[in-house]
Copies of this chain bind each other. A is one copy, B any other.
């Protein structure tokens, strides 16, 4: 069978499975989640053996230490996956909720009812724990899923999928609810993206190159973000301690993630007081500063920022810094260089807080809090399958609810259209 045929077969099976899943009760789905968690914990050695094959190959291929670390599974990490599933068990089932119901003048009772999307294609790079996370989220929200992980993790992913499938079977749910693409052939991705008759949504997670490839080739709707060029604007009237703590947290706490701050905008009225102190703190944490000309007047030994710096998602201990003359300047900069991901203002000025919340066009806009809070768990969605910076369907972190849609249900008693 060709790769395309294998993928199409998987998609047909996923669609069949989704018909069962969409009517499964919460009880059934939760027992399967618990069974998978048990399966993970009682098969640690098998998983680690398969993961060992991936690691051996990765070392031969000369992958970097960081990549090998992301690929590595151990008892602690496998237990963490199981715990993640148990957290999903505790969350409410989004499916079946009637989000509204109203009566029409002709007596029709019209409601909106939450239903699963159907079949989700999940395309991601090497971390094998994503396999279990994504499987759990899709299962809980009543969707079937096809998982195409990175080729480096193929043995780990297939081992995890065997455990998941056997748990599904034990709970009388279709095994094909969760399928891992069993080939590392790149044609598999292209094949997936063309199957719009079977797959309802594609979620790509990984580098910008992967995501652009998916968007350019997909006939299926895609939820994604390219990058997070997140800004903090420190306004003139600011509680200095809060500003220092928030900026430090947003840059330093975990610089390699999409909701870390990449550009700091500082109001000219506070720059002379604020910049030396925050840059001191940043430098003691090893952060490299790239400043605009006005920043360099205050911090002469900072590196000058190039035009390209303002577009950059460093994902590293590097920060670009710009002094601005007003909140309007700050918002204009964000509009031009930002990625609609996460933006924060630090201010004690009520009107500026209000304007920033209203006018900044990002998926999460914060007042006096760290950009690092753009995360499904942190915002209270319970769990997260990714962050969307396109506005259709979901804008911001996507939890279980974002893996569903609503259909209209109509109760009539003989109505016809005039």
List residues of A whose CB falls within 8 A of some B CB: 19, 22-23, 102, 104, 108, 110, 113, 115, 117-118, 196, 200-201, 215-216, 219, 221-223, 239, 241-242, 245-246, 248-250, 253, 335, 357-359, 361-370, 372-374, 378-380, 390-393, 395-397, 405-417
Contacts and interface: CB of A to CB of B under 8 A. Distances in A.
Given A392-B200, A408-B365, A372 B221 contact: no
- State the number of copies, please: 2
A390 B23 contact: no
A36 B357 CA distance: 31
A102 B382 CA distance: 13
Nearest to A393: B393
Contacts of A196: 215
8 smallest beta-carbon distances between A and B, as pairs: A369-B412, A249-B416, A372-B417, A242-B414, A393-B393, A366-B410, A221-B392, A391-B405
Most chain B C-beta atoms within 10 Å of own C-beta, residue among A215, A359, A390:
A390
B416 A407 contact: no
Contacts of A414: 239, 241-242, 245-246, 368-369
Interface majority SS (helix, strand, loop, mixed), chain A = mixed
A122 B241 CA distance: 49
A362 B392 contact: no
Contact of A361 (B115, B253, B391, B406): B115
B395 A104 contact: no
